[in-house]
Each structure stands twice: as C-alpha cells, then as structure tokens.
Structure 1
C-alpha cells in the first residue's frame, strides 16, 4: 500500500467514526452508533466511554461531555440495541419484545437534562446532563415516536449493508434511504455504474 493510499484509508476510517445526525430522529441517531448492521462486521462507534461522552455533546443533549464509566457505556449499548429492535418491529408492523419495552421505560424514567435558553433567545442548551439524563432523552424520543402517527412511517434503510432506521417524512412516503447523502448517493452511483457498464 502506497503512502497516499494509506492516508486515504486513514481518512475513510476517521470519517467512519463520525456520528450521523442527518435526517435522523434522536433515538435513531443513537441506534446508528453501530454502523453497517447488515454486514458480517458492523462498525462500533461507541467503542470507549469517551465516545459516548462525545455523542452526548454532538447530539446536542449535553453542553459538556459527561464523565462516562464502562458500566454506563454497557447500559447505553443495551438501550441502543433495544431501540434498534423496537424500531425494526415498527418497520415490520409487529409487536416488540417486552424486555426491550422495559429497558426503554426504565431509561426514560430517569430525570433528563434541563433546557436553558440563551441570552438572545436564539438557542437552547441542555445543562446538568449526565449519561443517564441523556439516555433518558433518547428513550423518551422513542416513546414519543411510538405514540405518534409517524410510527407507521418507520423504515429500515434500503441499503442492505446499512440497517439504519429512519422516519419517512416525505409527502409521498416513498423515501428509501436513511440519508440521501450517504446510502442514497452510494446506491445511485452503483446503479449508474452498472447501467453504463452494460
């Protein structure tokens, strides 16, 4: 491998660790911290407690990265997987497992962070956010989704290697990808190449 190829590979790897928030509800952005779910080797973006702290800030749920323990990281991953499974059951119009509902309800029962309006009233910052408070916000977002009419618009990404969940808010209800910027563009490029190579 050349030095340039090494740099390109490193840049791709760095980009892979970036959290995805485009076109995603909070709960599904959190579920997306495990990428490439449709592959033999999914990519874990929450590999260390520090990654969870970074997600808390980048998601907008905390102004500062909370201190995270390994146990809190494990709890977060369990919640994440429960959210993914519940989302899949919504997409497939079937009932979720009671254990997953219990896990989400337990997380949602914890106090959340507190919203604080900026001095110019143009922004909201969340304060007092420890990990449990952030996970409570994530769980409550899933509960709000389940209680809304949008529950029938939950889908799995049309990219078979992705496995990300999304809510189709398009008027026609014909959205196929978690994000046009990632999976949609990728699969359209593949389809175009296949077409031009015939």
Structure 2
C-alpha cells in the first residue's frame, strides 16, 4: 500500500518504514509488512535497510555499519517482538525462548544520548547495530513492565497483524495507525458499499 503521508510529503512507497502512532518496538515489528497475507513484504531486505531504519527511528545519528549477520539477528529479534506483542494482546505469557532472545539483545550496551548545543536535538554515541537493537529490546521490556501491557492490541487490518498500544481514553482503537491501515480498511469498506446493489436496484 502506498499513501501520501510520507515525512517529506511525497507519495510513500511500500518499502518506506512506518512510525505513525507506534512504540519503537512495534515500529520495528512493522518492518515486515502484510503479515496477514500469503506474501509478506520485507522492508529489511538488505543490511543497508537496517542502517536506514536505525537513523529514521532516531535510534542513531548516522547509519551504523551492518552486516548480513546483523540483519539476521535483527530479524530474529523482530519476530520475537511480534510474537511477544501478540501474546500480550491475547493475555497469555510470552514464549520463554522469545523472552530469552529479547533479554540477550537488551543486555548489549545501548547508545548514549547527548544533548546538542542548541538544546533541542539529540546526538547518539555508540551507534552500533547492537546498540540500536538493544534500545528496541529495552522498549519492549519497558512496555511489558508497565500498565500499558494490558493495552496491547493487534491491528484490525487483517493484512497487517502488527501489535500496537491502545492509549486512547476509551480503549477502542482498532488500527496500528489511522493514517495507513485505518484509512485503507475504511476505503475498502466504502468501495464495497458502492458495489453492493440496494434492495431497490
């Protein structure tokens, strides 16, 4: 799915990363798109994609060097996060092997933030891929240890399947993002209504 909500105002492509309304850990889970379809779309197709995500997610100031092995570890962490998010949504304990994987990633030294001289921007020191993945894993751990763990949902778009945190007051949010999945599902429903004949037709 393409949309017009890219950060620079351009038409957003399928390969572009999504950060709308998402916690860091679940934005990372969203790097595999179309989970509910027969052909999921891999946004982390190459090591350079992981380096690009690190910068766009604001976990790194400059693109960290990334190898194929780093990419493999990142994908394993991503799927552990996805499964843990689904377990939280289903109110069941996460799998022990997923907890162990997340804990191993979180045990790596995280990047250190430094406030820039302008007092409004942050620079990161220690921008290694392992540091970025540590930050992602620690975000999931923070979520699991918070009251928001009971607010984890799975996106109502059946093609998506990515977890999100429902921080709405009513607790009735259905989509990982209204700008993407919510808009898409509503557009599909509208088109279906247009093609459904009325009783008097």
CA distance in 2, matches of 1:182, 1:110: 33
What does 1:73-88 align with in structure 2 at a 5 Å threshold? 73-88=71-86
Aligned partner of residue 110 in structure 1, secondary structure: coil
The 2-side partners of 1:25 and 1:178 are apart by 10
Task: Give the corresponding residue for 1:118.
Answer: 116
| 2:29 is aligned with 1:31 | yes
User: Which residue, out of 79, 92, 95, partners 1:94?
Assistant: 92
Equivalent pairs, count: 187
| Secondary structure at the counterpart of residue 14 of structure 2 | helix
Aligned position for 2:135: 137
Q: 1 CA distance for matches of 2:186 and 2:143? A: 29
How big is the shift at 1:197? 3.0
CA distance in 2, matches of 1:50, 1:189: 33
**SS of the counterpart of 1:16?**
coil
Q: Which residue of 2 aligns with 1:191?
A: 189
TM-score, length of structure 2 as denominator length:
0.90
Matches within 5 A, 1:39-58: 39-58=37-56
How far the C-alpha of 1:189 sits from its partner, in A, is 1.2
Local SS of the residue matching 1:38: coil
* Distance (Å, rounded) in 1 between the aligned partners of 2:51 and 2:195: 46
Shift of 1:136: 0.3
CA RMSD of aligned residues (A): 1.3
Provide the TM-score with structure 1 as the length reference.
Answer: 0.91
Per-residue deviation at 1:165?
Answer: 1.0
The question of whether the paired residues in 2 share the 8 Å contact of 1:60 and 1:125 is answered with no
